């Protein structure tokens, strides 16, 4: 398969329910990853433009579900399956979904 222009790493890390750090999987990230994968395929983006990958912890647990977009090198945070169409359309138009982009201050807080 060819190298894609972008890779979207969706954290699917799961911790036990009593872990105070929580986890993206507990917030529905597996469904987000699947919806993103399907959304990319539906728009024909999956062959060359973008691939939605599962990732281990991206160390932004409090802001999960987190998605790291590379090589653009920014994070989406608090992502839900409902956000997926907008994210996928943003890949078509070249516009990221600003309301979901984690700020430098948020990233610094972890």
Q: How many angstroms separate the CA atoms of 84 and 82, rounded?
A: 6
Share of the chain residues as helix, strand and coil, in percent rounded to the nearest 5: 40, 20, 45
First-last CA distance in the chain: 34
Nearer to ligand FES, 45 or 76 (CB): 76
Interface region with ligand FES, contact rule CB under 6 A, candidates 32-40, 42-50, 59-67, 74-82: 59-67
Under the criterion CB under 6 A, does residue 33 sit at the interface with ligand FES?
Answer: no
Under the criterion CB under 6 A, does residue 77 sit at the interface with ligand FES?
Answer: no
Under the criterion CB under 6 A, does residue 36 sit at the interface with ligand FES?
Answer: no
Nearer to ligand FES, 61 or 84 (CB): 61
Residue ranges in contact with ligand FES by CB under 6 A: 11, 13, 23-24, 57-61, 64, 66
């Amino acid at each position: 398969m060819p190298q894609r222009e972008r890779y979207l790493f969706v954290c699917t890390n799961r911790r036990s329910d009593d872990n105070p750090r929580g986890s993206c999987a507990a917030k529905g990230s597996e469904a987000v990853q699947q919806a993103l994968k399907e959304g990319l395929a539906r728009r024909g983006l999956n062959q060359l433009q973008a691939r939605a990958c599962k990732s281990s912890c991206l160390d932004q647990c409090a802001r999960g579900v987190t998605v790291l977009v590379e090589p653009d090198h920014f994070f989406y945070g608090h992502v839900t399956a409902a956000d997926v169409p907008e994210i996928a359309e943003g890949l078509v138009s070249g516009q990221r979904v600003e309301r979901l982009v984690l700020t430098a201050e948020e990233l610094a807080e972890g």
